[in-house]
Amino acid sequence: MKSERKIFADYLVKKNLRETPQRGMILDAFLKIEEHTTAEQLYDIVKKRDNTIGQATVYRVLKLICDAGLAREVDFGDGVMRYEHCYNHPHHDHLVCRSCGKTVEVVDLVIEELQKRVAESFGFELTDHEMYLYGICGNCRHKK
């Protein structure tokens, strides 16, 4: 938490951007949330502290947070972008229940290695990837 603020401050300095109350408040609110969050949800939270804040600013700061390496976009394909923590949250993929929407963060090093190899076999140098596994969770299966 301390170091995230430091990273963000350093990023602003490096980019010749200013540290403002809004930027600080939005960053703090984002860091407190452990779930995957939309700009709208973050806006609602920040508004409670300062109801003069504009949602355009939330979108703008969220972009800065991503650029600073503290957040990552997650796209579950429902038309709304979500954001998750990046710092001290190493790369992972997502397992999503088609029935209740529950998500689990997963990582499989063998898959990651094979992805690299597949890319290379076609002459590509892999830079990143997206993998979403969809299914029915145990809970939902037992209900039916």
- Interface residues with Mn ion (CB under 5 A) are 84, 105
Q: What residues contact 28, with CB distance under 8 A and at least 6 apart?
A: 5
Cβ 18 to its own copies shortest distance, Å: 31
C-alpha triplet 140, 84, 103: angle, nearest 5°? 10
Looking at the Cβ atoms of 6 and 102, the one nearer to Zn ion is 102
Please pick, from the candidates 56, 100, 106, 126, the single residue that binds Zn ion as defined by CB under 5 A.
100
Cβ 61 to DNA shortest distance, Å: 6
Give the type of residue at 99. Answer: S
Neighbours of 109 (CB within 10 A): 7
**First vs last Cα of the chain: how many Å apart?**
42
Length reported for the chain: 144
Show the tokens assigned to 65: 């947070």
Which partner in Zn ion, Mn ion, DNA, none is near 16 (CB below 5 to 8 A by kind)? Answer: DNA
Q: Is 140 in the site for Zn ion (CB under 5 A)?
A: yes
Q: Is 56 in the site for DNA (CB under 7 A)?
A: yes
Q: Is 137 in the site for its own copies (CB under 8 A)?
A: yes
Measured CA to CA, the distance from residue 79 to residue 69 in angstroms comes to 23
Q: Is 91 in the site for its own copies (CB under 8 A)?
A: no
Number of shown-chain residues binding Zn ion (CB under 5 A): 6
Show the tokens assigned to 130: 């997206």
Measured CA to CA, the distance from residue 46 to residue 49 in angstroms comes to 5
Which positions touch its own copies (CB under 8 A)?
A: 75, 77, 95, 97-98, 104, 106, 108, 110-111, 114-115, 118-119, 122-138, 141
Positions that interact with Zn ion (CB under 5 A): 97, 99-100, 102, 137, 140
